[in-house]
Amino acid sequence: MINILVTGANGQLGSEINALKQIYSDYNFHFTDSKELDITNHEGVDQFIKTNKISVIINCAAHTAVDKAENEIELSTKLNHLAVGNFGNIAKVNNIKLIHISTDYVFDGTNYIPYSEKQNTNPQSVYGNTKLAGEQALQKINPKNSIIIRTSWVYSSFGNNFVKTMLRLAKERKELGVIVDQIGTPTYARDLAKVILEIIPKINNKNVEVYHFSNKGISSWYDFAKAIFDIKEIKIKLNAIETSQYPTAAKRPFYSVLNKNKIENTFQIEIPNWRDSLKECLQKL
Mean pLDDT by 10 residues, the chain (285 residues): 97 98 95 94 95 98 95 97 97 97 98 97 98 98 98 97 97 95 98 98 98 98 98 96 93 96 98 98 94
Q: 39, 7 in Cβ contact below 8 A?
A: yes
Tell me if 230 is assigned to some domain: no
CA distance 88 to 141: 6
3-state secondary structure of 73: helix
Tell me if 279 is assigned to some domain: no
Tell me if 226 is assigned to some domain: no
User: What is the Cβ-side half-sphere exposure of residue 128, based on CA atoms within 13 angstroms?
Assistant: 17
Distances (CA, A) of 209 to 23, 92, 96, 138, 263: 27, 15, 15, 10, 10
Tell me if 241 is assigned to some domain: no
Tell me if 174 is assigned to some domain: no
According to the model, what pLDDT value does residue 255 have?
97
Tell me if 121 is assigned to some domain: yes
CA distance 25 to 254: 42
Give catalytic residues, as residue numbers: 127
pTM > 0.85: yes
What's the CATH code of the domain at 143? 3.40.50.720
Residue 275's H or E segment, with its range, is helix 274-284
According to the model, what pLDDT value does residue 18 have?
98
Instruction: Kindly give the pairing relationship between strand 219-220 and strand 187-188.
Output: unpaired
Cα four-point dihedral sign 96, 209, 87, 185 = negative
Tell me if 52 is assigned to some domain: yes
Structural domain of 77: 2-160+186-215+256-272
Residue 56: partners with Cβ closer than 8 Å, 6 or more residues away: 2, 3, 4, 5, 96, 97, 98, 99, 200
Q: How many domains does the chain have?
A: 1
3-state secondary structure of 90: helix
Tell me if 221 is assigned to some domain: no
According to the model, what pLDDT value does residue 275 have?
98
